[in-house]
């Protein structure tokens, strides 16, 4: 049994959550694939969505291969937060009755975060219905928490919707995951959305885009809005990333990260970069991080960024 101790505090610096996640991922990759692992969070005092969601997915992926144990934090407020966001299992909307789901979600309207939701990502009618209802609820909770004006509300809904729909359209996976937290003092909302699917590169390759053959090329193509489909009469199933990137970073002065397979795309007001990451840090899926600042800027209009 290998014990991996998680850092006491992960700062709210945009890249810090991913930095800690990769450091754990590197250690996990170096451990024999049959050896059990214990992740020790006992001394943790502060964790953010940009760490928690990727870490949750790592635990999920590794649990399919080996025995995994979690030692939860001793810090009572962090322990209670993790319990409240359903960190160990994720909240599956379809396992709740409509009444229970509605009342649970209403509780979150008074908080500054939403639970870690493990939502169905297939196009089956029942899954679509669940996802539609969950998206409406999440949108309403987030906007209730942040008390945004209508333009910001539209922007948040657009950004979250686009990332969730990309999982449905491109991941090839049956589940997607979302976690969000509003940092009142800092005035921004952090949203993390992910899957354990085929990656952006995998999606292009499954659709015959043979000229796109590295993770980096795939993210560059997706950021330009290139569709995975070849048919001119098909609906335009691009990833919609170009609009999200532009709206979030140029319109809202926010930050965007997209980790997929062996590449990561980072976009801020001053950075526009795609990096190939060390090969041992390959992530089997896609994780989007959105930092959405609340700027009380009445001249911001999401439609200015629709492409």
Partner 1 sequence: MEVAKIDGHTLNTRDGAVKLFNFFLGDKFYFKTPIILDFANVEFMSRSFADQFYLLKKNWEFGNNTKIELQNYNKQIAEILEAVSNTQYSQENKRNIKSEIKELQFGELKQFEEYLLAI
The answer to the question of residue 23 lying near partner 1 (CB under 8 A) is yes
Q: Which of residues 157-186 bind partner 1 (CB under 8 A)?
A: 157-158, 161-162, 164-165, 168-169
Is residue 45 involved in binding partner 1 (CB under 8 A)? no
Tell me which of 95, 112, 136, 250 binds partner 1, using CB under 8 A. Answer: 136
Q: How far apart are CA 67 and CA 206, in angstroms?
A: 32
The reply to whether 266 sits near partner 1 by the rule CB under 8 A is: yes
70: which DSSP letter?
E
d(CA 156, CA 214): 30
By the rule CB under 8 A, 220 interacts with partner 1: yes
Could you say which of 61, 71, 104, 277 contacts partner 1 (CB under 8 A)? Answer: 277
DSSP conformational letter for 265: E
Site for partner 1 (CB under 8 A): which residue of 8, 226, 284, 297?
226
Alpha helices in the chain (DSSP H): 16-29, 49-63, 76-84, 98-108, 125-146, 150-166, 199-206, 215-223, 241-245
* DSSP assignment letter at 40: E
Q: Which is nearer to partner 1, 175 or 255 (CB)?
A: 255
Contact 265, 291 (CB under 8 A): no
Task: Tell me if 94 contacts partner 1 by CB under 8 A.
Answer: no
**Cα torsion 50, 263, 237, 248: sign:** positive
- Torsion angle in degrees (nearest 10) through CA of 88, 90, 91, 92: -130
Q: Which is nearer to partner 1, 19 or 66 (CB)?
A: 19
The partner residues of 39 in beta bridges, in order of sequence, read 4, 70
Does the protein bind partner 1 through residue 30 (CB under 8 A)?
no
Q: Could you tell me which stretch among 12-20, 31-39, 52-60, 186-194 binds partner 1 (CB under 8 A)?
A: 12-20
Residues that bind partner 1 (CB under 8 A): 13-16, 18-19, 22-23, 26, 123, 125, 128, 131-133, 135-136, 139, 153-154, 157-158, 161-162, 164-165, 168-169, 216, 220-221, 223-227, 229, 232, 235-238, 240, 243, 255, 257, 265-266, 268, 271-278, 280-281, 302-303, 306-307
């Amino acid at each position: 049994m290998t014990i991996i101790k998680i850092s006491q505090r992960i700062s709210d610096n945009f890249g810090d959550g991913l930095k800690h996640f990769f450091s754990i991922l590197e250690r996990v990759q170096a451990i024999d694939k049959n050896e059990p692992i214990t992740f020790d969070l006992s001394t943790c005092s502060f964790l953010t969505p940009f760490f928690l969601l990727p870490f949750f997915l790592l635990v999920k992926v590794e649990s399919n291969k080996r025995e995994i144990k979690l030692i939860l934090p001793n810090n009572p407020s962090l322990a209670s937060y993790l319990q409240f966001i359903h960190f160990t299992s994720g909240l599956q909307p379809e396992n709740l009755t409509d009444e229970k789901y509605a009342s649970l979600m209403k509780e979150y309207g008074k908080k500054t975060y939403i639970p870690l939701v493990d939502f169905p990502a297939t196009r089956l009618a029942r899954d679509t219905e669940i996802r539609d209802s969950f998206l409406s609820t999440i949108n309403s909770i987030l906007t209730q928490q942040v008390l945004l004006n209508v333009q910001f509300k539209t922007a948040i809904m657009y950004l979250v919707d686009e990332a969730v729909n990309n999982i449905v359209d491109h991941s090839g996976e049956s589940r997607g995951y979302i976690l969000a937290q509003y940092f009142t003092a800092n005035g921004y909302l952090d949203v993390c959305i992910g899957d354990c699917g085929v990656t952006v590169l995998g999606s292009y390759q499954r659709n015959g885009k043979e000229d796109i053959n590295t993770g980096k090329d795939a993210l560059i193509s997706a950021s330009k809005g290139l569709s995975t489909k070849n048919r001119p009469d098909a609906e335009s199933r691009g990833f919609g990333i170009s609009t999200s990137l532009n709206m979030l970073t140029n319109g809202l002065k926010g930050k965007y990260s997209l980790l997929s397979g062996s590449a990561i795309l980072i976009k801020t007001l001053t950075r526009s970069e795609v990096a190939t990451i060390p090969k041992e840090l390959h992530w089997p899926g896609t994780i989007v991080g959105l930092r959405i600042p609340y700027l009380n800027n009445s001249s911001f209009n999401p439609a200015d960024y629709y492409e």
